[in-house]
Amino acid sequence: MKDPQYGRYPKGKRKGNTKPVDEILRELKKPSFPYSDYRERSLKIHGLICAKCGREFDDKNRDQLTVHHKDGNHLNNPPNGSNWENLCIYCHDDEHTRELLGNYLTGRDKER
C-alpha cells in the first residue's frame, strides 16, 4: 500500500494554475495601490532639491532624496503633490526623530 496520497506526509491534490505566465507576471507588476508612483511624481513636481536644507541633487545621487508625507499617511497621495515634500535622507530622518522626541517629551508616546 504505497499510495502517495496516504502516509506520514500525505500529498494534497494540487490544482493547476490555468492562467498563462504572461498574465501572472502582468498582475504582479501592477502597483499595489493607486498612485504608488508618487515618488517620481513628487520629484517631477517639486524638483531634485531638499525642501529642508536646500541641497540639490542630480540623476547620480537622486536615490538620496526621499518623499516625506506631511500628514504621515503614505496612502494620501493627491495628484497635485500637496501632501509631499522632497527631503534628503538626513533631513527625512531628522523629521521623524523630532516627532518621536516631541511625543516622548510631551508624554504623548504613552497614550498609544
Locate the DSSP E strands across 1-112: 65-69, 84-88
What is the reported pLDDT for 13?
62
The C-alpha atoms of residue 66 and residue 57 are separated, in whole angstroms, by 11
pLDDT per residue over 54-77, tens digit each? Answer: 999 999 999 999 999 999 898 888
- Locate 84 and state its grid cell: 509631499
Q: Count CB-CB contacts under 10 A for residue 86.
A: 24
Q: Is pLDDT at 52 greater than 60 in this prediction? A: yes
Enumerate domains of the chain plus CATH numbers.
21-110 (3.40.1800)
Of 63, 64, 109, the C-alpha closest to 91 is 64
The C-alpha atoms of residue 108 and residue 104 are separated, in whole angstroms, by 6
What is the reported pLDDT for 3?
61
pLDDT per residue over 87-104, tens digit each? Answer: 999 999 998 888 777 778
